[in-house]
Protein backbone atom coordinates (compact mmCIF):
# COMPACT_ATOMS: atom_id res chain seq x y z
CA UNK A 1 0.00 0.00 0.00
CA UNK A 2 1.06 3.60 -0.61
CA UNK A 3 2.30 5.43 2.48
CA UNK A 4 1.08 8.80 1.20
CA UNK A 5 -2.65 9.48 1.01
CA UNK A 6 -3.97 12.96 0.18
CA UNK A 7 -6.46 13.16 3.07
CA UNK A 8 -4.43 11.27 5.69
CA UNK A 9 -4.33 14.23 8.11
CA UNK A 10 -8.06 14.98 7.90
CA UNK A 11 -10.34 13.80 10.71
CA UNK A 12 -14.03 13.51 9.80
CA UNK A 13 -16.89 13.03 12.27
CA UNK A 14 -19.72 11.23 10.49
CA UNK A 15 -23.11 11.45 12.20
CA UNK A 16 -25.02 10.28 9.13
CA UNK A 17 -26.94 7.09 8.44
CA UNK A 18 -28.21 5.05 5.49
CA UNK A 19 -26.86 6.21 2.08
CA UNK A 20 -26.15 9.91 1.23
CA UNK A 21 -23.85 10.78 4.13
CA UNK A 22 -22.03 7.45 4.42
CA UNK A 23 -21.30 7.36 0.68
CA UNK A 24 -19.88 10.89 0.91
CA UNK A 25 -17.60 10.01 3.83
CA UNK A 26 -16.59 6.75 2.14
CA UNK A 27 -15.12 8.82 -0.69
CA UNK A 28 -13.10 10.76 1.88
CA UNK A 29 -12.06 7.62 3.77
CA UNK A 30 -10.87 5.89 0.60
CA UNK A 31 -8.31 8.66 0.18
CA UNK A 32 -6.99 8.48 3.72
CA UNK A 33 -9.29 10.60 5.89
CA UNK A 34 -9.86 9.26 9.40
CA UNK A 35 -13.65 8.91 9.32
CA UNK A 36 -15.24 8.28 12.71
CA UNK A 37 -18.86 7.14 12.60
CA UNK A 38 -20.64 8.52 15.64
CA UNK A 39 -23.53 6.17 16.29
CA UNK A 40 -26.33 5.71 18.77
CA UNK A 41 -25.60 2.91 21.25
CA UNK A 42 -27.21 -0.45 20.41
CA UNK A 43 -29.07 0.74 17.29
CA UNK A 44 -26.36 2.57 15.35
CA UNK A 45 -26.70 3.24 11.64
CA UNK A 46 -30.01 1.72 10.48
CA UNK A 47 -28.24 0.38 7.40
CA UNK A 48 -26.38 -2.12 9.59
CA UNK A 49 -29.44 -4.31 9.97
CA UNK A 50 -31.08 -6.50 7.35
CA UNK A 51 -30.37 -9.04 4.64
CA UNK A 52 -28.24 -10.10 2.88
CA UNK A 53 -25.40 -9.91 5.37
CA UNK A 54 -21.63 -9.80 5.09
CA UNK A 55 -20.55 -11.02 8.49
CA UNK A 56 -22.79 -9.35 11.07
CA UNK A 57 -24.09 -6.49 8.95
CA UNK A 58 -26.10 -5.80 5.83
CA UNK A 59 -24.15 -5.85 2.57
CA UNK A 60 -24.77 -2.16 1.71
CA UNK A 61 -23.49 -1.10 5.12
CA UNK A 62 -20.32 -3.13 4.63
CA UNK A 63 -19.89 -1.56 1.19
CA UNK A 64 -20.19 2.13 2.03
CA UNK A 65 -18.62 2.12 5.49
CA UNK A 66 -15.25 0.53 4.69
CA UNK A 67 -12.15 2.34 5.94
CA UNK A 68 -14.07 3.90 8.85
CA UNK A 69 -14.07 3.71 12.63
CA UNK A 70 -17.13 3.56 14.90
CA UNK A 71 -17.83 5.02 18.31
CA UNK A 72 -21.13 5.12 20.21
CA UNK A 73 -22.42 8.20 22.01
CA UNK A 74 -25.79 9.11 23.49
CA UNK A 75 -26.28 12.85 23.03
CA UNK A 76 -28.99 12.83 25.70
CA UNK A 77 -26.23 12.24 28.26
CA UNK A 78 -24.20 15.31 29.19
CA UNK A 79 -20.96 13.34 29.57
CA UNK A 80 -21.33 11.93 26.04
CA UNK A 81 -21.98 15.40 24.63
CA UNK A 82 -18.89 16.66 26.40
CA UNK A 83 -16.86 13.79 24.94
CA UNK A 84 -18.16 14.62 21.48
CA UNK A 85 -17.19 18.28 21.85
CA UNK A 86 -13.70 17.21 22.90
CA UNK A 87 -13.40 15.17 19.68
CA UNK A 88 -14.70 18.12 17.66
CA UNK A 89 -11.74 20.15 18.91
CA UNK A 90 -9.35 17.85 17.02
CA UNK A 91 -11.55 17.30 13.95
CA UNK A 92 -11.51 18.96 10.55
CA UNK A 93 -14.94 18.00 9.21
CA UNK A 94 -18.35 17.14 10.62
CA UNK A 95 -21.05 15.62 8.42
CA UNK A 96 -24.66 15.24 9.58
CA UNK A 97 -27.97 14.57 7.88
CA UNK A 98 -30.55 15.47 10.51
CA UNK A 99 -33.45 17.78 9.76
CA UNK A 100 -32.64 21.47 10.25
CA UNK A 101 -32.54 22.60 13.92
CA UNK A 102 -32.05 19.08 15.36
CA UNK A 103 -28.37 19.73 16.10
CA UNK A 104 -29.27 23.16 17.45
CA UNK A 105 -31.69 21.59 19.93
CA UNK A 106 -28.88 19.26 21.02
CA UNK A 107 -26.56 22.23 21.46
CA UNK A 108 -24.23 20.83 18.81
CA UNK A 109 -25.00 23.08 15.84
CA UNK A 110 -22.38 24.84 13.73
CA UNK A 111 -22.64 28.17 15.55
CA UNK A 112 -21.89 26.39 18.82
CA UNK A 113 -19.16 24.07 17.57
CA UNK A 114 -17.23 26.70 15.63
CA UNK A 115 -16.60 28.45 18.95
CA UNK A 116 -14.62 25.43 20.16
CA UNK A 117 -13.06 24.80 16.73
CA UNK A 118 -13.11 27.76 14.31
CA UNK A 119 -11.41 25.60 11.65
CA UNK A 120 -14.28 23.09 11.55
CA UNK A 121 -15.94 22.44 8.18
CA UNK A 122 -19.52 21.53 9.07
CA UNK A 123 -21.59 19.85 6.32
CA UNK A 124 -25.34 19.28 6.62
CA UNK A 125 -26.98 17.03 4.00
CA UNK A 126 -30.77 17.36 3.90
CA UNK A 127 -33.57 16.80 1.45
CA UNK A 128 -34.46 20.43 0.88
CA UNK A 129 -31.72 22.49 2.53
CA UNK A 130 -31.59 24.74 5.58
CA UNK A 131 -34.18 27.28 4.44
CA UNK A 132 -37.37 27.52 2.43
CA UNK A 133 -40.93 26.28 3.14
CA UNK A 134 -39.92 22.62 2.62
CA UNK A 135 -36.88 22.63 4.91
CA UNK A 136 -38.60 20.63 7.66
CA UNK A 137 -40.43 18.19 5.38
CA UNK A 138 -39.47 14.53 5.34
CA UNK A 139 -38.68 12.81 2.07
CA UNK A 140 -36.77 10.17 0.16
CA UNK A 141 -35.03 10.02 -3.19
CA UNK A 142 -38.28 9.84 -5.17
CA UNK A 143 -39.61 12.98 -3.45
CA UNK A 144 -36.51 15.04 -4.22
CA UNK A 145 -36.60 13.89 -7.85
CA UNK A 146 -40.25 14.87 -8.08
CA UNK A 147 -39.82 18.36 -6.61
CA UNK A 148 -36.74 19.02 -8.76
CA UNK A 149 -38.80 18.25 -11.87
CA UNK A 150 -36.74 15.28 -13.04
CA UNK A 151 -39.14 12.45 -12.19
CA UNK A 152 -41.80 13.70 -14.61
CA UNK A 153 -39.49 12.86 -17.53
CA UNK A 154 -38.79 9.25 -16.54
CA UNK A 155 -40.45 6.41 -18.43
CA UNK A 156 -42.16 6.38 -21.80
CA UNK A 157 -44.62 8.94 -23.11
CA UNK A 158 -48.15 8.30 -21.90
CA UNK A 159 -47.04 6.08 -19.00
CA UNK A 160 -46.51 6.87 -15.33
CA UNK A 161 -43.10 8.08 -14.09
CA UNK A 162 -40.71 5.26 -13.19
CA UNK A 163 -38.36 5.72 -10.20
CA UNK A 164 -34.73 5.15 -11.26
CA UNK A 165 -33.06 1.92 -10.10
CA UNK A 166 -30.32 3.81 -8.26
CA UNK A 167 -30.68 6.79 -5.95
CA UNK A 168 -29.92 9.85 -8.08
CA UNK A 169 -30.85 12.41 -5.43
CA UNK A 170 -29.15 10.61 -2.55
CA UNK A 171 -25.84 10.02 -4.32
CA UNK A 172 -25.72 12.56 -7.16
CA UNK A 173 -27.54 15.38 -5.40
CA UNK A 174 -26.32 14.58 -1.89
CA UNK A 175 -23.15 12.50 -1.52
CA UNK A 176 -21.18 13.92 -4.43
CA UNK A 177 -22.21 17.53 -3.83
CA UNK A 178 -21.29 17.17 -0.15
CA UNK A 179 -17.87 15.69 -0.94
CA UNK A 180 -17.12 18.52 -3.39
CA UNK A 181 -18.40 21.10 -0.90
CA UNK A 182 -16.28 19.69 1.92
CA UNK A 183 -13.10 19.55 -0.14
CA UNK A 184 -13.72 23.07 -1.45
CA UNK A 185 -14.24 24.37 2.09
CA UNK A 186 -11.00 22.68 3.21
CA UNK A 187 -9.14 24.44 0.41
CA UNK A 188 -10.79 27.69 1.45
CA UNK A 189 -9.66 27.09 5.02
CA UNK A 190 -6.07 26.95 3.82
CA UNK A 191 -6.50 30.56 2.67
CA UNK A 192 -8.66 31.98 5.47
CA UNK A 193 -7.74 29.79 8.43
CA UNK A 194 -11.44 29.30 9.15
CA UNK A 195 -13.94 26.55 8.47
CA UNK A 196 -17.48 27.16 7.27
CA UNK A 197 -20.97 25.71 7.00
CA UNK A 198 -21.71 23.58 3.91
CA UNK A 199 -25.45 23.45 3.19
CA UNK A 200 -26.31 20.56 0.84
CA UNK A 201 -29.86 20.08 -0.45
CA UNK A 202 -30.41 16.86 -2.38
CA UNK A 203 -33.21 18.60 -4.31
CA UNK A 204 -30.83 21.41 -5.30
CA UNK A 205 -28.30 18.83 -6.43
CA UNK A 206 -30.79 17.01 -8.66
CA UNK A 207 -31.98 20.25 -10.23
CA UNK A 208 -28.39 21.19 -11.04
CA UNK A 209 -27.99 17.87 -12.88
CA UNK A 210 -30.70 18.81 -15.37
CA UNK A 211 -28.27 20.50 -17.75
CA UNK A 212 -29.74 18.85 -20.86
CA UNK A 213 -33.28 19.93 -19.91
CA UNK A 214 -33.49 23.17 -17.94
CA UNK A 215 -31.30 25.50 -20.04
CA UNK A 216 -33.50 24.83 -23.10
CA UNK A 217 -36.65 25.35 -21.03
CA UNK A 218 -35.30 28.61 -19.59
CA UNK A 219 -34.57 29.72 -23.15
CA UNK A 220 -38.23 29.24 -24.05
CA UNK A 221 -38.34 25.67 -25.43
CA UNK A 222 -41.04 23.56 -23.77
CA UNK A 223 -40.11 20.04 -22.72
CA UNK A 224 -42.33 16.97 -22.68
CA UNK A 225 -41.91 13.44 -21.37
CA UNK A 226 -40.77 10.96 -24.00
CA UNK A 227 -39.68 13.73 -26.35
CA UNK A 228 -36.36 14.62 -24.76
CA UNK A 229 -33.44 14.14 -27.11
CA UNK A 230 -31.76 11.67 -24.75
CA UNK A 231 -34.87 10.15 -23.21
CA UNK A 232 -37.10 8.74 -25.92
CA UNK A 233 -37.00 11.57 -28.44
CA UNK A 234 -34.42 10.18 -30.85
CA UNK A 235 -34.19 6.83 -32.61
CA UNK A 236 -30.40 7.14 -32.47
CA UNK A 237 -30.43 7.05 -28.67
CA UNK A 238 -32.43 4.11 -27.36
CA UNK A 239 -32.39 0.46 -26.31
CA UNK A 240 -33.72 -2.14 -28.74
CA UNK A 241 -34.80 -5.72 -28.00
CA UNK A 242 -33.00 -8.55 -29.76
CA UNK A 243 -34.25 -11.97 -30.95
CA UNK A 244 -33.14 -13.64 -27.69
CA UNK A 245 -34.97 -11.11 -25.47
CA UNK A 246 -31.82 -9.16 -24.66
CA UNK A 247 -31.25 -5.48 -25.42
CA UNK A 248 -28.88 -3.43 -27.53
CA UNK A 249 -27.99 0.10 -26.36
CA UNK A 250 -27.61 2.57 -29.22
CA UNK A 251 -26.04 6.00 -28.69
CA UNK A 252 -25.35 7.02 -32.28
CA UNK A 253 -26.07 10.74 -31.76
CA UNK A 254 -23.44 12.18 -34.08
CA UNK A 255 -23.75 11.79 -37.84
CA UNK A 256 -20.56 9.72 -38.14
CA UNK A 257 -21.84 7.19 -35.61
CA UNK A 258 -25.36 7.19 -37.05
CA UNK A 259 -23.98 6.45 -40.49
CA UNK A 260 -22.06 3.46 -39.12
CA UNK A 261 -25.16 2.23 -37.27
CA UNK A 262 -27.28 2.45 -40.41
CA UNK A 263 -24.62 0.48 -42.27
CA UNK A 264 -24.72 -2.16 -39.55
CA UNK A 265 -28.49 -2.65 -39.84
CA UNK A 266 -28.25 -2.38 -43.66
CA UNK A 267 -30.57 0.63 -43.92
CA UNK A 268 -28.59 3.40 -45.57
CA UNK A 269 -31.90 5.15 -46.31
CA UNK A 270 -32.12 6.00 -42.61
CA UNK A 271 -28.93 8.11 -42.69
CA UNK A 272 -30.68 11.42 -43.63
CA UNK A 273 -33.23 10.94 -40.80
CA UNK A 274 -30.89 11.54 -37.85
CA UNK A 275 -32.46 14.93 -37.03
CA UNK A 276 -35.99 14.17 -38.26
CA UNK A 277 -38.96 15.63 -36.32
CA UNK A 278 -40.33 13.80 -33.28
CA UNK A 279 -43.17 11.94 -35.01
CA UNK A 280 -40.83 10.69 -37.71
CA UNK A 281 -38.34 9.64 -35.02
CA UNK A 282 -41.02 7.47 -33.43
CA UNK A 283 -41.77 5.81 -36.75
CA UNK A 284 -38.04 5.28 -37.28
CA UNK A 285 -37.73 3.67 -33.84
CA UNK A 286 -40.50 1.20 -34.67
CA UNK A 287 -38.74 0.20 -37.86
CA UNK A 288 -35.42 -0.22 -36.07
CA UNK A 289 -37.14 -2.32 -33.40
CA UNK A 290 -38.30 -4.76 -36.09
CA UNK A 291 -34.81 -4.98 -37.57
CA UNK A 292 -32.98 -5.52 -34.27
CA UNK A 293 -35.52 -8.17 -33.27
CA UNK A 294 -34.33 -10.40 -36.14
CA UNK A 295 -30.93 -11.24 -34.63
CA UNK A 296 -29.59 -12.27 -31.23
CA UNK A 297 -27.49 -9.99 -29.05
CA UNK A 298 -24.34 -11.93 -29.90
CA UNK A 299 -25.12 -11.66 -33.60
CA UNK A 300 -25.50 -7.91 -33.36
CA UNK A 301 -22.34 -7.52 -31.31
CA UNK A 302 -20.46 -9.41 -34.01
CA UNK A 303 -21.84 -6.94 -36.57
CA UNK A 304 -21.08 -3.82 -34.55
CA UNK A 305 -17.74 -5.12 -33.30
CA UNK A 306 -16.40 -4.02 -36.68
CA UNK A 307 -18.14 -0.62 -36.67
CA UNK A 308 -17.60 2.55 -34.63
CA UNK A 309 -21.27 3.22 -33.94
CA UNK A 310 -21.64 3.71 -30.15
CA UNK A 311 -23.49 0.42 -29.78
CA UNK A 312 -23.17 -1.79 -26.70
CA UNK A 313 -24.94 -4.74 -25.07
CA UNK A 314 -27.22 -4.13 -22.09
CA UNK A 315 -25.37 -6.33 -19.63
CA UNK A 316 -26.64 -8.35 -16.71
CA UNK A 317 -24.79 -7.81 -13.41
CA UNK A 318 -22.88 -11.08 -13.75
CA UNK A 319 -21.71 -10.00 -17.20
CA UNK A 320 -20.73 -6.57 -15.92
CA UNK A 321 -18.56 -8.03 -13.17
CA UNK A 322 -16.73 -10.21 -15.70
CA UNK A 323 -16.44 -7.55 -18.39
CA UNK A 324 -12.82 -6.87 -19.40
CA UNK A 325 -13.29 -3.08 -19.12
CA UNK A 326 -14.59 -3.33 -15.56
CA UNK A 327 -11.71 -5.65 -14.66
CA UNK A 328 -9.14 -3.40 -16.31
CA UNK A 329 -10.37 -0.46 -14.27
CA UNK A 330 -10.23 -2.52 -11.04
CA UNK A 331 -13.83 -1.64 -10.22
CA UNK A 332 -14.41 -4.82 -8.21
CA UNK A 333 -11.76 -5.23 -5.53
CA UNK A 334 -11.17 -8.39 -3.51
CA UNK A 335 -9.58 -8.09 -0.07
CA UNK A 336 -8.71 -10.51 2.71
CA UNK A 337 -10.12 -9.94 6.19
CA UNK A 338 -8.76 -11.87 9.17
CA UNK A 339 -12.24 -12.47 10.53
CA UNK A 340 -14.49 -12.60 7.46
CA UNK A 341 -12.12 -14.03 4.86
CA UNK A 342 -12.40 -12.86 1.26
CA UNK A 343 -14.48 -9.71 0.76
CA UNK A 344 -15.46 -8.08 -2.52
CA UNK A 345 -16.03 -4.34 -2.78
CA UNK A 346 -17.09 -1.89 -5.44
CA UNK A 347 -13.83 -0.27 -6.52
CA UNK A 348 -12.71 3.35 -6.28
CA UNK A 349 -14.00 5.41 -9.23
CA UNK A 350 -11.59 8.33 -8.76
CA UNK A 351 -8.18 7.37 -10.12
CA UNK A 352 -5.24 9.46 -8.90
CA UNK A 353 -1.87 8.75 -10.49
CA UNK A 354 0.36 9.40 -7.45
CA UNK A 355 -1.87 9.03 -4.39
CA UNK A 356 -4.63 6.55 -5.30
CA UNK A 357 -7.39 5.57 -2.93
CA UNK A 358 -7.17 2.33 -0.98
CA UNK A 359 -9.45 -0.11 0.80
CA UNK A 360 -7.61 -0.50 4.10
CA UNK A 361 -10.22 -2.00 6.41
CA UNK A 362 -13.71 -3.51 6.50
CA UNK A 363 -16.72 -1.64 7.87
CA UNK A 364 -16.45 -1.25 11.65
CA UNK A 365 -18.48 -3.07 14.23
CA UNK A 366 -20.82 -0.89 16.26
CA UNK A 367 -18.67 0.97 18.80
CA UNK A 368 -15.55 -0.95 17.77
CA UNK A 369 -13.28 2.04 18.32
CA UNK A 370 -14.73 3.39 21.58
CA UNK A 371 -11.63 2.52 23.57
CA UNK A 372 -9.21 3.77 20.93
CA UNK A 373 -10.87 7.18 20.52
CA UNK A 374 -12.90 7.86 23.66
CA UNK A 375 -10.27 6.31 25.90
CA UNK A 376 -7.83 9.07 24.92
CA UNK A 377 -10.11 11.90 26.08
pLDDT tens for each residue of 173-186: 999 999 999 999 99
Is 11-209+329-374 CATH 3.40.50.10540?
yes
pLDDT at 233: 86
pLDDT at 39: 98
Catalytic-role residue among 140, 216, 323, 369:
140
Range in 157-161, 165-169, 301-305, 356-360 with the lowest mean pLDDT: 157-161
The answer to whether 212 and 227 have CB atoms below 8 angstroms apart is no
The closest alpha carbon to 67, from 374, 329, 343, belongs to 343
Q: What are phi and psi of 282, to 5 degrees?
A: -65, -40
14 counts as catalytic: no
Burial 226-237 (b: 16+ CB within 10 A, else e): bbbbebbbbbbb
249 forms bridges with which residues in the sheet?
Answer: 239, 312
**Buried/exposed code over 294-319 (b: 16+ C-beta within 10 A; e: otherwise):** ebebeebbebbeebebbbebebeeee
| Separation of alpha carbons 157 and 37, rounded Å | 44
Each residue's pLDDT tens digit, 252-290: 999 999 999 999 999 999 999 999 999 999 999 999 999
Q: Which of 45, 92, 141, 170 is catalytic?
A: 170
Mean predicted confidence (pLDDT) in 307-329: 97
| 170 flagged as catalytic | yes
Q: Is residue 227 pLDDT above 90, yes or no?
A: no
Determine the pLDDT at residue 3: 65
Q: Under 8 Å CB-to-CB from 79, ≥6 apart: which residues?
A: none
Per-domain boundaries in the chain: 11-209+329-374, 237-241+247-313
* C-alpha neighbours within 13 Å on the C-beta side of residue 175: 20
> Each residue of 186-219: b (16+ CB within 10 Å) or e?
beebeeeeebbbbbbbbbbbbbebbeebbeeeee
pTM of the model: 0.94
Residue 194 pLDDT level (bands cut at 50, 70, 90): very high
The lowest-confidence range among 39-53, 82-96, 128-142, 218-232 is: 218-232
Q: What is the mean pLDDT of residues 10-35?
A: 98
Question: What is the per-residue pLDDT for 304?
Answer: 97
- Give the dihedral of Cα atoms 273, 228, 224, 174; nearest 10 deg: 180
Residue 232, pLDDT above cutoff 90: no
What is the reported pLDDT for 2?
A: 52
Amino acid sequence: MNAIMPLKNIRVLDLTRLLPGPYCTQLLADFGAEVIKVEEPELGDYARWGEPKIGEYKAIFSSINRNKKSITLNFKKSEDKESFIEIVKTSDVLVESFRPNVMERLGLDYETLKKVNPRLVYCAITGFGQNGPYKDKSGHDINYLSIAGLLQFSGEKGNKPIPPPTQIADIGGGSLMAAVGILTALLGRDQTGKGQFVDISMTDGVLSWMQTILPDYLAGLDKHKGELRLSGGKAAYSAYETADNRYLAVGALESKFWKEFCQGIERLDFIPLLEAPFEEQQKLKREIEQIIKKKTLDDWMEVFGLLDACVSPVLLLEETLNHPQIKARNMIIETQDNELGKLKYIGIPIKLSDTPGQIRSRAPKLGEHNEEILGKL
